[in-house]
Every structure is written in structure tokens, then in C-alpha cells.
Homo-oligomer: A and B are copies of this chain.
């Protein structure tokens, strides 16, 4: 079966999947959890194969760390599944009920999107999380993980799929794409796939966005800013800047550019330079900063660069308006922070900065589904259509309008014989 044929079969099954009640979906999650625990040795053996291949191929240490599926990671993902089971069901939620006229009632109810394609990095725990989220939300899913974890993914997927179908989910609820060239086949499935969620490098996500008619949710860039305002608390500024840069430097929500109000420069820089040095962070700053403090001179391009490295660009601004304009122009609409003790300044910044996350006095690294309390996330969206920011179950749902009548026709309302009375019941 080609990916196209498989996707078409999933599309047909997606209504059956969507109609499964919460008990069946939660039952499947419970069986998946138990199966993973019962078959853990098989999973660890497959993972050992992936690790051996990674060593042979000189895969970098940081990647190997993500590949490794330890007992702790198994406990984490099964705990994650338990949390999902405990989470209140959001499918078939009545969003509003409106009586349009006597005996003519409009109901808006949430429902699954249908068929979701997720392309994700080489991390076995990601496969388990994404499959669980899709089952909890009643969606069919096509999963494509990084090839470096192919052995682990194969056994994980088999255990998940078998448990899902044995629990009563439809035959085509889940499918694993295993070959790299299946990605381009998947991109052509706009007749059957409702939403694509790519995760990975900027270039990869951008490639996906540029090469499919399927709606794409995600983010290519993560160029986050911290702006230090005139009235700021240095005891907050220094740890927040250092955390946002170093807590996970390669993350999309790490800070890349620091904007400093010109009147804040003298109070901030001496201690900041010390802290940057202690953490081996290279500072690339504009002339007025470089004149006074030890750093590399920044060029225009620095402010358009997502370093994902221990480098921080910096420039001074005349006022908060300039900071906002810089962020809206150079930023990626991901997450941007103001360090200020002035509530008016925070309010202005948060209203004017056009990003999914606008923060006051805390690290940009908080932009994450788990840290927002969503239980899990399938990705972070910098788009403004559908879901924005970290995306949990809600982003995997849409809604439908149900209209209950007893023979009403539009002609009666067009002619004025009858009138709508629009009474909101819920």
C-alpha cells in the first residue's frame, strides 16, 4: 500500500475514529501503557541496536542522548499517558447552543480534525507522546520519526498499534511511515490529510511549509528577544537572560537578541558582562555598546540570526517603541520578553509585540506545553491561524455546527413570514 492509499483509507476511517467515545479512547491508552511496560525488554533491545548504529555512524553526543530510551524515559512516557487518561475529554464539548427560532436550534460541538501527519525528530519518547495525543483527541495519525531511531520506533509503534486496535480503535487509526522518501509522498496527500505538524530543523520545517498544500502547523524559526526596559530589576534581569540563553541553548525558545533601553545600559552591562563570561556566552553588540564594553561588533545580519548557540546579539534602543518595532521586524513571532518594573511598559509591550508568547520578567524558555500545564504538546505554532504557541489537545480539535429543525425552510425567513429570534441557551 502506498502512503496515498493508506492516507485515503485513514480518511475514510477517521469518522469512525472520531465517533469513538472517551471510554474507548482512554481504554486504548491504558492498554498501550501496559503493553509498553510489559514489553520493555524488547524496546530496550531495539534501542540498543539504534545506539550501536549511532556509534558506528559517529552521531554527535547530544543526538545520541535523545536517542537513548532509558527506563526513566519509559516511566516518563507511561506517566504522560496516565496524565492524558486523567485529562477531561475535550471531544464533543458543546461550545454553544443557540435557538435561532422556535424548534430550530444551533449547537456548536468540538470534534477531532481527522487525519494528522506528524514528522518528528529522532526521539523515541516523541513517538509515544504524539500517538497518545492523537488517540486522546480522536484523530487518525500518520507518524514519521527520525531514521536514527528506526528500530526503537518500529517496536514502539507495533506495540501501540496492536494495543489500539485490540482496544476497539479502527484498523486505520495509526500508520508509521518508515522511509525518508515517504515524506514527499505524504506532502502530496492533501486530499486525505487535514493537518501536518513538522518538527525539526528550521530548514526542514521550511521545506515542508513550501512543498505541500496541506495546512502546516509549527514553526521554522525561533528568534526570541529579551528587552530590558528603563526601570528594571537587575536581580531579575541577569538570571532570566542567562537561563533563556543557556538552559537549553539549541531550543526554539532560547533568547537570541537582547534589546537594552539606553538609560538601562550602565546599570545592566557590568554585571551582565560578568555573567556572560562565566557562562562562556559570546556577546555581539552594536557600536554604542562595543565602545564601552568588551564584545564583538554586531552586523545587521546578527539580528536576523537564530544562533542556537552560546552567542547573544545586543543593541540599545531609544525607547520601548523602538524595541517593539525591532522585535516585530526581526523576530519570528515566537516568544519575547520585557524586563521591567513598570506595569504600563509591560502592558504596552505585551499588546504591541506580535508574538505567540509575550512575557514579563521571566525566561523565554517557559514557552512549552508541559510548562503551560497542557499535559503534552505536539508542537509550537508561530502561525496565527488555528492554534498559536504551544499546542496541546485543543489544537488537534475543530468543531461542527449541528442544526436541529422540524421542517424549517429559508424561504419563510427570506420572505419575512418568520423571524429569527437568536436566543443563546448555552
- By a beta-carbon cutoff of 8 Å, the part of chain A in contact with chain B is 12, 14-16, 18-19, 98, 100, 104, 106, 113-114, 194-195, 209-210, 213, 215, 217, 233, 235-236, 239-240, 242-244, 247-248, 324-325, 328-329, 346, 350-363, 365-367, 371-373, 383-386, 388-390, 398-411, 413-414, 420, 422
Contact = CB atoms under 8 A, between A and B. Distances in A.
A242 B213 CA distance: 37
Given A12-B328, A213-B209, A363 B409 contact: yes
A386 B391 CA distance: 13
Which 3 A/B pairs are nearest by Cβ-Cβ distance? Answer: A362-B405, A236-B407, A243-B409
Given A328-B15, A386-B386, A409 B247 contact: yes
Given A14-B354, A98-B373, A100-B371, 16 more contacts: A12-B329, A15-B324, A15-B353, A19-B351, A100-B372, A195-B385, A215-B215, A235-B407, A244-B409, A346-B404, A357-B400, A358-B401, A359-B403, A360-B404, A363-B408, A388-B399
A352 B170 CA distance: 14
A361 B405 contact: yes
Contacts of A242: 409
27 contacts: A12-B329, A14-B354, A15-B328, A15-B353, A18-B354, A98-B373, A100-B366, A100-B372, A113-B384, A235-B407, A239-B407, A239-B409, A240-B408, A240-B409, A243-B409, A350-B402, A356-B400, A358-B403, A359-B404, A361-B404, A362-B404, A362-B408, A371-B420, A385-B385, A385-B398, A386-B386, A388-B399
Contacts of A405: 359-362, 366
Contacts of A352: 15-16, 18-19
A15 to B, nearest CB: 5
Contacts of A422: 373
A128 B145 CA distance: 49
Given A209-B213, A385-B215, A400-B355, A409 B104 contact: no
Contact of A243 (B233, B353, B361, B410): B410
Contacts of A329: 12
B414 A247 contact: yes
A403 B362 contact: yes
Contacts of A400: 350, 355-358, 388-389
A16 B352 CA distance: 7
Q: Give the most central of A217, A328, A360, A400: most B CB within 10 Å.
A: A400
Contacts of A355: 400
Contacts of A15: 324, 328, 351-354
B401 A356 contact: yes
Nearest to A360: B404
Q: Give the most central of A113, A240, A409: most B CB within 10 Å.
A: A409
B98 A240 contact: no
A295 to B, nearest CB: 23
A357 to B, nearest CB: 5
A407 B362 contact: yes
B328 A411 contact: no
Given A325-B12, A398-B385, A400-B357, A366 B243 contact: no
Contacts of A360: 402-405
